């Protein structure tokens, strides 16, 4: 696999990891932990751009991705907000168990949610823990003098991580808090998006349902697609409409069925074909393999829309097939 072509921007999995130390792990809300990481001597933390995330190689062997939420101008630490996920497979639990002084290995920052710094105006809309990359964007936009609004949606003030930090930031006047009403309805008025603005770029981050709700309204209002940017804070999930399909593992000489309730990676492993997976969420790109024939149903968030359109690679951990069969170079 190491000698095969990769999608543009793919980082080689053998790239050197960074030795880091947990500087602080505290509680932001009842279910959100604040985690601050610094480089272990003699390492240095690579610079990052607003919207970037980092792979954390956790003590329990899992690798999980979290967005950096501090000011990109800070070059001595990475700060994260990590939600204790109700359906956690051990990633968020491992982060919440970390303590100051613990050693951890991390990957280099990667950014699939880049900020367009040349935009005349920027609108940031975050739901729950999805505000973390938007926080880094806020620091950056403020520093370069680009007008912006940051709309933070949460169930209540008690559920709003980083409330104090954002309320006392230099850009606090640009932050608008939207808490759920007593009847359970959202306090966010979508009419803010009713008039499309070609000079404004919209960034939406949070749970998939939240993103679909906001972007659906923006699309209906006629916002330019090139001005809408999203990042979901949950893995791709199986659909009740998923169907069984065939995978031909060309180099392994095996043909197998991928059931509706399993991933391609699971089916390959079940058939005795070794594959490497990491995040299991379609974010890191570790499990991308070349497609020789067939039409994939891309569900990863690692590849760009252009890379999806070429159908050159498929993410084994989450994607499926639109055609009856996929022929893979594995």
Instruction: Give the SS3 label for residue 281.
Output: coil
Q: What is the dihedral of CA 77, 83, 87, 88, to 10 degrees?
A: 30
**What's the CATH number for 245-328?**
3.10.20.30
The domain over range 18-106 is classified in CATH as 2.40.30.10: yes
**Which residue has tokens 């659909």?**
239
Q: What's the pLDDT score for residue 239?
A: 64
Query: pLDDT in tens for each of the 330 residues of the chain?
Result: 233 333 333 333 435 899 999 999 999 999 999 999 999 988 899 999 999 999 999 998 888 889 999 999 999 999 999 998 765 557 889 999 999 999 999 999 999 899 999 999 999 999 999 999 999 999 999 999 999 999 999 999 999 999 999 999 999 999 999 998 776 666 788 888 999 999 999 999 998 889 999 999 999 999 999 999 998 776 555 566 789 999 999 999 999 999 998 999 999 999 999 988 877 777 777 899 999 999 999 988 778 788 999 999 999 999 999 999 999 999
- Report d(CA 26, CA 139) in Å as an integer: 22
Residues 6+ apart with CB under 8 A from 313: 6, 7, 288, 289, 290, 291, 303, 307
Looking at the domain that runs over 121-232, which CATH code has it been given? 3.40.50.80
Q: Where in the chain is the domain with CATH 2.40.30.10?
A: 18-106
- Residue among 141, 314, 139, 126 nearest 229 (CA): 126
In the chain, CATH 3.10.20.30 covers 245-328
End-to-end CA distance of the chain: 8
Q: What is the pLDDT of residue 284?
A: 72
Residue span(s) of the chain under CATH 3.40.50.80 come to: 121-232
In angstroms, how far is CA 34 from the centroid of its own chain? 17
Q: What is the pTM of this model?
A: 0.78
């Amino acid at each position: 696999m190491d000698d095969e072509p990769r999608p543009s921007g793919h980082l080689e999995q053998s790239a050197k990891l960074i030795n880091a130390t947990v500087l602080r792990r505290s509680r932001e809300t009842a279910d959100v932990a604040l985690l601050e990481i610094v480089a272990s001597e003699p390492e240095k933390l690579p610079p990052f751009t607003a919207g970037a995330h980092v792979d954390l190689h956790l003590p329990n062997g899992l690798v999980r991705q979290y967005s950096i939420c501090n000011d990109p101008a800070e070059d001595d630490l990475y700060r994260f907000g990590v939600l204790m996920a109700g359906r956690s497979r051990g990633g968020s639990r491992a982060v919440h168990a970390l303590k100051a002084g613990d050693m951890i290995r991390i990957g280099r920052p990667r950014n699939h949610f880049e900020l367009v710094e040349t935009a005349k105006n920027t609108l940031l809309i975050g739901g729950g823990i999805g505000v973390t990359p938007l926080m880094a964007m806020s620091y950056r936009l403020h520093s370069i003098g680009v007008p912006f609004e940051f709309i933070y949606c949460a169930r209540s003030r008690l559920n709003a991580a980083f409330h104090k930090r954002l309320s006392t930031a230099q850009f606090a006047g640009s932050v608008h808090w939207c808490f759920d009403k007593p009847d359970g309805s959202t306090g966010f008025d979508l009419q803010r998006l009713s008039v499309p603005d070609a000079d404004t770029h919209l960034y939406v981050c949070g749970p998939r349902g939240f993103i679909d709700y906001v972007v659906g309204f923006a699309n209906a209002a006629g916002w330019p697609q090139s001005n809408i940017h999203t990042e979901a804070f949950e893995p791709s999930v199986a659909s009740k409409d998923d169907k069984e399909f065939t995978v031909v593992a060309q180099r392994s000489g095996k043909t197998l069925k991928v059931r509706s309730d399993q991933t391609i990676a699971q089916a390959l492993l079940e058939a005795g074909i070794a594959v490497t997976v990491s995040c299991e969420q379609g974010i890191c790109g570790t499990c991308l393999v070349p497609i020789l024939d067939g039409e994939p149903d891309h569900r990863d968030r690692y590849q760009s829309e252009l890379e999806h359109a070429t159908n050159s690679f498929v993410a084994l951990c989450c994607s499926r097939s639109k055609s009856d069969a996929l022929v893979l170079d594995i």
